[in-house]
Amino acid sequence: MNNERRKVLNALRVQLEDITATILEVRCDEAIAFENLPDSISDGPQGDKHQEALDCLDTAVDYIDTVISDLENAAQ
């Protein structure tokens, strides 16, 4: 791979790292909101929705981490 394509992949990696950081900020806010729910709500359907959202955000971050790793490997 030439240097120009490596630069493109590196730029994509940086963008994905920024996206990951934003997702983690949203996840943190969602976790705080979930923790602040009264037990009567957090143990019900609304709490399930919060937990599902947290799980989805975790999965998204995992997928992005895999893509970042693949980009790094491709750029070697």
Range of the structural domain that residue 59 is part of? 3-74
How many Cα atoms sit within 13 Å of 43 on the Cβ side? 3
pLDDT of residue 21: 98
Each residue of 39-72: pLDDT tens digit? 999 999 999 999 999 999 999 999 999 999 999 9
Task: State how far the Cα of 9 lies from the Cα of 17, in Å rounded to an integer.
Answer: 12
pLDDT value for 27: 98
Tokens of 6: 């490596």
Q: Compute, in degrees rounded to 10, the torsion defined by CA atoms 36, 37, 43, 46.
A: -130
For 26, how many CA atoms within 13 A lie in the half-sphere containing its CB? 15
Number of domains in the chain: 1
pTM: 0.90
The C-alpha angle 3, 7, 11, rounded to 5 degrees, equals 170
